[in-house]
Amino acid sequence: MKKFLSGNEAFAEGIRLARPEVISAYPITPQTIVVERLSEMVENGSLKSEYVHVESEHSALSCAMGASAAGARAFTATSSQGLLYMAECLYYASGGRFPIVMMNADRSTALPWNIYGDQRDSLSQLDSGWIQSYAENAQEALDLALMSYRIAEDKRVSTPYMANLDGFVLTHTYEKVDIPTEEQADRFLPAYETDNRIDFDSPKNMAFSAGPETNYIFKYRAHEGMLAASDVIKETEDEFEKIFGRRYTGLTENYLTDDADYIIVTLGSIAGLCRKTADRLREQGIRAGVVRIRYMRPFPNEEIAEALSRVKAYAVLEKDISFGNEGTVFTNVNSAVKKENGKAEGYNFIGGLGGRNISASDIETIFKSIIKGTDRVNFIGIGDGNNG
Amino acid sequence: MANKVADSISREEYFYGHKACAGCGGSLAVRAALKVLGKNAVSVLPAGCMSAVGFNFPQLCFSNNSIISTFAGTASMLTGIEAGLRAKGYKDFTAVGFAGDGGTADIGIQALSGAIDRNDNIIYICYDNEAYMNTGIQKSGLTPFGARTTTTPAGANVHGNIRPKKNMFEIVAAHGIPYAATASVGYIGDFIAKVQKASQIQGTKYIHVIAPCPTGWGISVDETVEIAKEVVDSGLWYLAEYENGEYRLTHRPKEFTSAEAYLKRQGRFRHLTEDDIKVITDSRDEKWKFIEKNFIV
């Protein structure tokens, strides 16, 4: 069935189809519509779930961990300050190997106070042990909501999953979305089965302490689980295509990269505008391409290195900054290139902080400036006479 | 010799082989409560003494399902466990939290208030040893007036902690909780009876049990139970319940033993002056006036 939905609503539809047994709900802009829609679904009976009105984001994730420890499929959603407030629990959930799914509406972090979209919130938590996906549009948001549980709950993975949607640009933009049937969703996503749960026949001590001799073994296993997610994501997408007919391309999505001299690497909803700009530059005879990172963790080292192995230069366009260094995505991309001894020049473009618009002409400027060479790290619009 | 209390609880040990200090009142409270609740108790313990001594992989000391929560997350994790088990179709279980005084009155109070507000079907037990003992005796919101801790030193200028103990029992009761109670490991039969009662009530239950810490209080390891009895006998703590909107005293000392004697036998209070002791005694008397007026006695 096709409907006109916002990214938030599309994601909520995906979660309805995934049938979480416990939902812990706490409002924060621009995520709130997700928990509102889910409460309506529980009310009208289209979703059977324990809906818990928690009193903070910390409790939202703590409650989800408890539910997961009970063997239940758990969901929560947050954004920005809420993600930071629950940060302690992020590490706890991944260490406990609880395959919780959480939607994060990517939003700027205070101060200055700001509700609009950038990606500093989730990118600051790359090391928390969560799988991180970045959707481009509402359809992908819905599809990721369904796929996320299958990936997270796979026994080889057993890792929590953070599905990121750009605040407002994606969460509040309405698009045509195809909603699968419950019957299709049930064929795709089996019920959650795990041994990592409370068991009354054989009681367990969970979330224990581990000293220096054993601690790192648990950490290494969590790392292995995250690495295993790379293959599981691809397998899951193959199964998804069989049932729903939509094709996804693993950790990255390449556009015109095979013969490209210049590539922009980016993530999230800005990718469409990058592709449109690449098309326009191709008309001018410039061989431009785009790599959209779909998953920041596990990180697509090989895919990125391969896509950038033939270019003269690449740009990384991202909505975050690690103060005193550069954009976090840039750091990760450069590392991937270096691992394969890539020779291309890389440049970093920081934009969209606090929701500031990135225009088609900004992206065109990025392409043109990496052709002739520019500063290593550039802030779009700073120093162009309008501000800065 | 038959003992009514001992005979009313399980002979099984659910918290055994842990690393608690000799004379630990907290471990006594946890052990007794789990003997009441039995093998289908699912216990949640936040950061604190009991999780530190009970969960050292591979030496895991709970024979019932147990989990460490985040420091602030005792109540919220209980909420999730209760909801999750219910969603999975389980009916015969008890979700019980054992949090210390800091984990309850300070960092965990928000989550506790949220759980009571939702009336989640859980038991929350605060084992109160009146300071952050796991980190080495720092002041918490439940450290009493005058107590010396490592963060409220007693010197010429300041005589230890200058603030009274936060009133968790009445704070919790103000939510209109189905059941709340105070207890002490010195009156273990009363504590056990209250845990038994809590296990029969639907909704959120809160029990606040005084559990002395010899290390932090400056007493001998064999004085724990005695001093936990004396704090009640001297009127500095009281045994009560809150149920159906009413406060009820469950134990009434005929006359108070000396508060000064109670204080003076503990290292943490040894520095108190006569004036300090008068402040403590006066506030005790004020409290009992309040109890006489507002509790069913």
pLDDT digits (tens, 9 = 90+) for B249-264: 999 999 999 999 999 9
- Say whether pLDDT at B55 is over 80: yes
Segment A212-237 shows an average pLDDT of 97
pLDDT (0 to 100) of residue A388: 47
Distances (CA, A) of B258 to B108, B235, B269, B280: 34, 9, 14, 11
| CB within 8 Å: B78 and A65 | no
Contacts of B93 in chain A (CB under 8 A): 200
| Residue B261 CB coordination number (10 Å) | 10
Mark yes or no for CB contact A70/B114 under 8 Å.
Answer: no
d(C-alpha B259, C-alpha B277), whole Å: 8
Separation CA B211–CA A328 (nearest Å): 49
Alpha-carbon span B239 to B288, nearest angstrom: 12
Tokens coding A165? 């949607």
Q: Where are the beta strands (DSSP E) in chain A?
A: 2-6, 22-25, 50-53, 74-79, 101-106, 131-134, 161-166, 174-178, 205-206, 209-210, 252-255, 262-267, 288-293, 295-297, 313-318, 345-350, 377-379
Q: Which two tokens stand for residue A25?
A: 């709900």
Considering only the beta carbons, identify the residue of B54, B67, B76 that sits closest to A63: B76
Cα–Cα dist A197/B181, whole Å: 31
Q: CA of B123, closest CA in chain A: separation in Å?
A: 15
Among B16, B77, B175, B204, the strongest candidate for a mutation testing the A interface, having the largest count of A CBs within 10 A, is B77
Nearest CA in chain B to A74: B84
| Per-residue pLDDT, A384 | 66
Query: Does A88 sit within 8 Å of B118, measured CB to CB?
Result: no
Of A54, A210, A211, the CB nearest to B114: A54
* Tokens at B285, concatenated: 């008397």
> Residue A260 carries which side chain, given as an amino acid letter?
A
Which alpha helices (DSSP H) does A96-154 contain, by range? 120-123, 138-153
User: Which residue in B80, B114, B117 is closest to A66 by CB distance?
Assistant: B80
Does A209 contact chain B (CB < 8 Å)?
yes
CB nearest to B57's CB, from A66, A69, A210:
A210
Mean pLDDT, to the nearest integer, of A238-267? 98
- Count CB pairs under 8 A between chains A and B: 159
| pLDDT at position B58 | 92
In this prediction, residue B4 has a pLDDT band, given cuts at 50, 70 and 90, of: confident
- Mean pLDDT of all residues in A27-55: 98
Tokens matching residue B23: 């004379």
Task: Give the pLDDT of residue B2.
Answer: 63
Collect all residues of chain A within an 8 Å Cβ-Cβ radius of residue B90: 70, 200
> A209–B83: do the CB atoms touch at under 8 Å?
no
Q: Determine the straight-line distance between the first and last CA of chain B, rounded to whole angstroms.
A: 33
Read off the pLDDT band of A387 (50, 70, 90): low
Listed residue (B264, B232, B78) closest to A63, CA to CA: B78
Summarize pLDDT for A148-205 with one digit per residue, the tens.
999 999 999 999 999 999 999 999 999 999 999 999 999 999 999 999 999 999 999 9
Burial category of B159 from C-beta neighbours within 10 Å (exposed 0-12, middle 13-18, buried 19 and up): buried
Q: Give contacts of A 25-54 with B, CB under 8 A.
A: 49-50, 52-54
Query: A247: which 2 tokens?
Result: 């094709």
CA distances from B251 to B232, B246, B295 (A): 9, 16, 12
Give the residue from A170, A164, A144, A136 showing the smallest Cα distance to A7: A170
Q: Per residue in B11-25, pLDDT tens?
A: 999 999 999 999 999
The pLDDT, as a whole number, for residue A383 is: 73
Q: Phi-psi region for residue B130, left (φ > 0), alpha (ψ -120 to 50) or beta?
A: left
Q: What is the pTM of this model?
A: 0.96
Residues B207-251: pLDDT tens digits?
Answer: 999 999 999 999 999 999 999 999 999 999 999 999 999 999 999
Q: Are B179 and B243 in contact (CB under 8 A)?
A: yes
Rama region for A80: left / alpha / beta (φ>0; ψ in -120 to 50; rest): left
pLDDT above 90 for B36: yes
Contacts of B68 in chain A (CB under 8 A): 206-209
* Test the A interface: residue of B34, B60, B63, B85 with most A CBs within 10 Å: B85
pLDDT average, residue stretch A364-375: 97
Phi and psi at residue A15, to the nearest 5°: -70, -40
C-beta neighbour count of A362 within 10 angstroms: 20
- B29/B49 Cα distance (integer angstroms): 12
Task: Check: CB of residue A22 under 8 Å from CB of residue A72.
Answer: yes
Interval B144-190: pLDDT, tens: 999 999 999 999 999 999 999 999 999 999 999 999 999 999 999 99
A54 and B79 in contact by Cβ < 8 A? yes
- What distance in Å separates the CA atoms of residue B21 and residue B25, rounded to the nearest whole number? 9
Chain B partners within 8 Å of A24 (Cβ): 79-80
Count of other CB atoms within 10 angstroms of residue A387: 8
Task: Say if residues B206 and B180 touch (Cβ distance below 8 Å).
Answer: yes
Give the bridge partners for B67, in sequence order: A206, B44
Residues A160, A152 contacting (CB under 8 angstroms):
yes
